[in-house]
Structure 1
Amino acid sequence: MKNINNEQDVLNTINSNTMTVVYFSGKDCGACDVIKDKVENILKYYPKIENVEIDGEKNIELAAQFNIFSLPIFLLYINGKETLRIGRNINLLELESKIKRYYDMLF
């Protein structure tokens, strides 16, 4: 995942791609790292999805602009609109199923 640190880069990424995953994590969050690895493994089967990571602890104002109040948070944007928001308790099988469904519809 590519790291992003400012709002304009995030918005440009979201608006210039059909599907974008924005993953908010924290460096002191053990669950964030474990889930990130698993999400990255899922996303490698969907190469047309752009994915970025934001350190929500370091970029508190940016996290607040996206209404992020806990970490990790997985956001899926389709054509610039938030379509899926999953918080700390991520069911990876369900997440992959939803990503596949949207991906198959769009590509």
Structure 2
Amino acid sequence: MTEKHFTMLSNLGDIETFIEQNKLAFLYISREACSVCHGLFPQVEELMKKYPKIATAHIKADQVEEIAGRFSVFTVPVLLLFVDGKEYLREARIVHMDLFHEKLDQIYSHVVGAN
């Protein structure tokens, strides 16, 4: 599997541009003081290696306070997948990796398979 790089995004403008410029855009939203966020990130990072056509980004909500209002983020971590700028998948707080993987597989094969 290829190395997967998560782009750090630190303002709303960059986040909007990231979503607009990538057919498949994935956001991992966390906070510094969130132990669940720190524990889950390596698992998500590993899983995303299986999806080379998904652009990935990490946002620290502590640095981008307006992320809460823009994406209705009330808890962390939040995992968001956008397809053509539209939110297709959202997982928050307690993420069951096997279910998340299944949902991601379905969307990915549908979108990438259609190309």
Q: Residue by residue, what CA displacement relative to the aligned partner does 1:46-65 show, whole Å, maximum 9, x if unpaired?
A: 01100101101222123322
Q: Deviations over 1:61-94 (max 9, x none)?
A: 2332211111110111011000111110101001
Is the 2:8–2:57 contact (alpha carbons within 8 Å) kept by the matching residues of 1?
Answer: yes
Alignment of 1:33-52 (within 5 A): 33-52=38-57
Do residues 2 (structure 1) and 7 (structure 2) align?
A: yes
Aligned to 1:67: 72
TM-score by length of 2: 0.88
The residue type equivalent to 2:82 in the other structure is Y
- Give runs of ≥4 in structure 1 deviating > 2 Å: none
Quick one: which amino acid aligns to residue 75 of structure 1?
A: L
What amino acid sits opposite 2:49 in the alignment? K
Candidates 14, 27, 36, aligned match of 1:31: 36
**Cα offset, 1:105, TM superposition:** 1.0
**Is 1:97 matched up with 2:113?**
no
SS of alignment partner, residue 18 of structure 2? helix
Q: Classify the secondary structure of the residue corresponding to 2:22.
A: coil
Return the alpha-carbon distance in structure 1 between the equivalents of residues 56 and 70 of structure 2.
19
Gaps of 5+ in 1: none
Aligned residues with identical type, % of pairs: 29
TM-score by length of 1: 0.94
